Amino acid sequence: MEIPKNIDQVILESKFLDNEIAQPIPLITIQGKIILNENSFITLSGLPKSRKTTIQQFILASCITGQNFLGIQANLTKEDKFILIDTEQSNYDFYRQNKFLKKLIKKNKNPPNFSAYLFREYDPEVTLQAIYQIVETQRPKILFIDNLTELCNDPNNIIEAKKVIQLLKKMTAKFNLGIVCLLHLGKSNNFTLGNLGSYADRASQSVLRVTIDKETDTTTLDCVMLRSDAHFNPISIHFNKDTGTYQETETQAPVTSKKTKAFSMDQFTAQELKDRINILFEMQEVYTYGALVENLKKLFGVGDTKIKQVVIPYITHKKLIIIKNKTYIKN
């Protein structure tokens, strides 16, 4: 391990001083619940084509107008800058997304305090350097990264993953900004991809999930973990072909197809299970049985029966959690 030459200064700056600290300014709320503060980042993840970017567009629309979209409210002034970094889309696909955004805000042009950069053709190392320079020179209040996965050559590489997450932490602290990170979920287990996803979820202020019910073509935004507030109610939308717009719908439990692969704990690696348990106990230290069931349902994406009959027996048998005084705690 290489020790920095200024390690004494690092230690001095890292010492906690027991002084009054002002509450960070909430940058984004959903249904009044704090999602993103200054000096923090959040993850917004889902399977490909689940409409993660569409949800991001509603957040951007609130940043631009100051209005509430789907219960999403941004807290920015007209002078506050916000920037979108896109690492996946072609110029034309992004152009189409931007047209949708302008339709939402009912404007012909983006405001001067909003900028977007497309880095699809560049290597992760170049993109990371560019992102840091953009933030350092322009000082946005919120940075959107769609998609964080593309900032690694291999999201399973521990060194690469930690480098990306450390950069996010550094930028939020140094430049007093909030970052919204979009991430892909793995198709086999509904976990964020690789070590990058695991590290991102663990370091996030909020972990949000986007799911899609293909039978009804309904997209639902839900929270897995909020550090700063209670959970918001799930938000569901569908595309109305007659009006050409998205409309909010009543949240319904997803319909399980008979062809769906049977749920099994064998589909998760030991590390993936450990990461889920870490997220669970970052929300709170002690659970009653009922609270444990409700939070595990969000983490594993299954109903009461599977949680009670499969998940809880498995994780207690593996001693990932233990029972103490009729409550559940991390082992």
- Average model confidence (pLDDT) for the chain? 88
Question: Averaged over 30-35, what is the pLDDT?
Answer: 94
> Using 50, 70 and 90 to split pLDDT, how confident is the model at 260?
very low
Q: Quick one: 232 exposed, middle or buried, by C-beta within 10 A (0-12, 13-18, 19+)? A: buried
Q: What is the pLDDT of residues 175-225, one digit of tens each?
A: 999 999 999 887 765 677 788 998 999 899 999 999 998 888 999 999 988
For the cut 90, the answer to whether the pLDDT of residue 150 exceeds it is yes
Please state the rounded mean pLDDT for residues 150-168: 94
- What is the rounded distance in angstroms from the CA atom of residue 257 to the CA atom of residue 255? 6
pLDDT value of position 116: 97
Q: Calculate mean pLDDT across residues 301-329.
A: 84
Q: Tell me what the mean pLDDT of segment 2-26 comes to.
A: 81
Structure tokens that stand for 228 in this block: 């700063």
Those residues whose C-beta lies under 8 Å from the C-beta of residue 41, and which sit 6 or more positions away, are 168, 169, 172, 178, 179, 180, 181, 200, 203, 204, 205
Helix H or strand E segment including 55: helix 52-65
Which pLDDT band, with edges at 50, 70 and 90, does 257 fall under? very low
42 with 205: CB under 8 angstroms?
Answer: yes
Domains of the chain: 20-249 (3.40.50.300), 265-330 (no CATH)
Question: Does pLDDT of 166 surpass 50?
Answer: yes
